[in-house]
Chain A
């Protein structure tokens, strides 16, 4: 985590930038380091309650004038003063916070990504009832005690596979009186990965996905030697091709035709009837199922080729290839 090392960046702004309306509505855009909420980054306006209270105070003032009632004046003025003081309190509730957005674990499309947000409060006053919200998603409401940092996951519903920039985070607060709404935008240049949504359960590919080099080997006993492949951790010692090891050419595992059930190629071309996304969905499902069944599997896509393998890292490699298939850039906005 870099938020302790990097100095929060608050580059000098021209007056025009400072007051640009665009900043007000869209924020600052993605930023490389942790975000420090300087004064110019915190906005504040009366909320609905504030407008209601202002109207109430106006009526009270009219009443005070009409009845020439000094204590009615006094009460109206006291409420108006509370109203003004509330601006400062609400503003302070966001001011000088440091925000960092972390890497969200990859999820399947349609699931909710949990984007970690770190709020660092270096003032000794606590921050209460902060609402964190990514785009128009559900918000989380949190408190940060004085001189503390806190990590919270903010939900983000995913709708499209690929690698996306985490959208703009809105911090909002009405504390303490709910009359004003202060808010600030924060967007870090971090991405999150969305795998394609896995298809319904389908049987793993059978005949169609044999290794092309193994023609004529299907179903012919466990001792039909079919070739060599790179050694993977966990391969049986009995199948290691010791000769190459002895020659110093590396570890290879002997493959036999009869191992077809544990060795699987997931092939893009084997699904010609489906459209692109459905193919990716199906392949995603197969990757998951193959992993569950502890098969050795590889993936072939028109633009990627992932050799046979097993394990979590391998699975993630495959899923990432599926997520990024045929996307022009690495980073895209949904």
Chain B
């Protein structure tokens, strides 16, 4: 499925804004992303498996915080990051 990557994480994807990844859950998709782009998952998900504050994962138009949420190839995953702060 298509995964949209926000600008703060594109140093991992060689600048690509969209990449392909697979998995039956959001967590599996992020793990597949990490196998392709080592290190990217830990910037989004902490060592206890929690999506970091101010990071958001959307499956199509729906925000998801549970990494067990199901996805399929028909979905599009969008990773977003707040750009708050000075």
Say whether A and B bind each other. no
Contacts from B to A (Cβ < 8 Å): none
Contacts from A to B (Cβ < 8 Å): none
